[in-house]
Chains A and B, each alone.
Chain A
Amino acid sequence: MNILSFLRPKSTLPTAEQAKERLKIVLAHERSYASAPDYLPRLQNEILQVIARYVELEQDKLTVKLENFGSTSRLEVNIDLPKTAASVAVSPANQADRTSDDEATAADDPATDARAVS
């Protein structure tokens, strides 16, 4: 304890004040989730499954948020794709699902050449 410390203004808030501020911040965040409809986690999971058919994606790279603006709400989907996502090979099972619309681009891919020709 410095002799002159009483001259300086108090640098830290009382712990009770800190408790209040921390609670306000964390509850503002949690309340926005609490008011979300029940289907949101399922929706998030299904979107994740669809994307995972094409790109390897970890669960926490996808967030789904529903915000209310008066009479309308906005569904916000954020997906962080890994850097290599564009070049990640798609599994053969998924290639079979592709429609003919995809074949023009698939032909450029040497791996799928054979099928494109036949």
Chain B
Amino acid sequence: MGKVIVMTSGKGGVGKTTTSAAFSAGLASRGHKTVVIDFDVGLRNLDLIMGCERRVVFDFVHVINGDARLNQALIRDKRLEHLYILPTSQTRDKDALTREGVERVLTELREQFEYIICDSPAGIERGALMALYFADEAIIVTNPEVSSVRDSDRILGVLQSRSRRAEEGLDPVREHLLLSRYDPERVERGEMMKVDDVLEILAIPLLGVIPESRSVLKASNVGTPVILDPQSAAGDAYRDAVGRFLGESLPFRFMRPERRGLFQRFLRRSA
């Protein structure tokens, strides 16, 4: 029976889709059969980040409406044999996702996959509520910045009151904090909140700290999850986070500024 994991944040632009792509690729590369679903109806983008935008024929909404079978809509990743993508629709119909429809698709996916990653849209509207409703675990993607932390707090409140687990009085959704776009140099200068500051405010367990990294944009340019870039610090940090999610205890890296010389600085910039 597969586990449903929602990537959520409240605020937009913090790295939910980047994280969904990285996490699903990370789980699949360790041999876990994984599917990643785009819940952002009308603003499809996971396909671009995963590099499968030209292979989309049927989507999530087609499956919900019975216009396609699930296996017709699932796109098999060309790099990782255990990874599948379920793209969303570009429809402008806000009510395209019904609770019954989403439940039916997730139930079917739970039988085939170990992990089902739900890439939530920003906000706390229908799409975001649908993405988190059936979750067993939630990864809260947060930037060390006031509006992102506030919105994360809000989405935690929603998880604790409006998820299926909350409504049915089951064990609560397991929450994990993933702090992204972390810049240790700015933290050291007192210009950015520390990991501990954010942890103190949100009070949920820390899954990973992803350093601000140029490689994230470069990976999205070419449609490769950043976790597949062996040169990238962000990729390393995501690999660690996936390991922790699977129960490994790994030390946190990339939380202090790198001491590097002029020559190294030049090398990194041109890398």
Contact = CB atoms under 8 A, between A and B. Distances in A.
Given A34-B154, A34-B157, A27 B190 contact: no
B163 to A, nearest CB: 14
B187 A27 contact: no
Interface stretch (A16-24, A57-65, A68-76): A16-24
Contacts, number: 40
Majority DSSP secondary structure for residues of B touching A? helix
Nearest to A22: B146
Contact of B190 (A16, A23, A31, A35): A16
A15 B192 CA distance: 7
Contacts of A34: 154, 157, 161
A72 to B, nearest CB: 21
A31 B201 contact: no
Contact of B146 (A14, A23, A30): A23
B271 to A, nearest CB: 29
Contacts of B157: 31, 34-35
A17 B190 contact: yes
B194 A23 contact: no
Given A16-B197, A22-B146, A27 B191 contact: no
Interface residues of A, number: 15
Interface in B175-202: 187, 189-194, 197, 200-201
Interface residues of B, number: 18
Nearest to B146: A19
Interface in A1-55: 14-17, 19-20, 22-24, 26-27, 30-31, 34-35
Given A14-B191, A15-B191, A20 B153 contact: no
Contacts of A24: 201
B150 interface: yes
Contact of B153 (A14, A22, A30): A30
A113 to B, nearest CB: 56
B86 interface: no
Given A23-B201, A30-B154, A34-B157, A16 B194 contact: yes
Given A16-B190, A19-B145, A34-B161, 5 more contacts: A20-B197, A26-B150, A27-B201, A30-B153, A31-B157
26 contacts: A14-B189, A15-B191, A16-B187, A16-B191, A16-B192, A16-B193, A17-B190, A19-B145, A19-B146, A19-B193, A19-B197, A20-B193, A20-B197, A20-B201, A22-B146, A23-B146, A23-B150, A23-B201, A24-B201, A26-B150, A27-B153, A27-B201, A31-B153, A31-B157, A34-B154, A35-B157
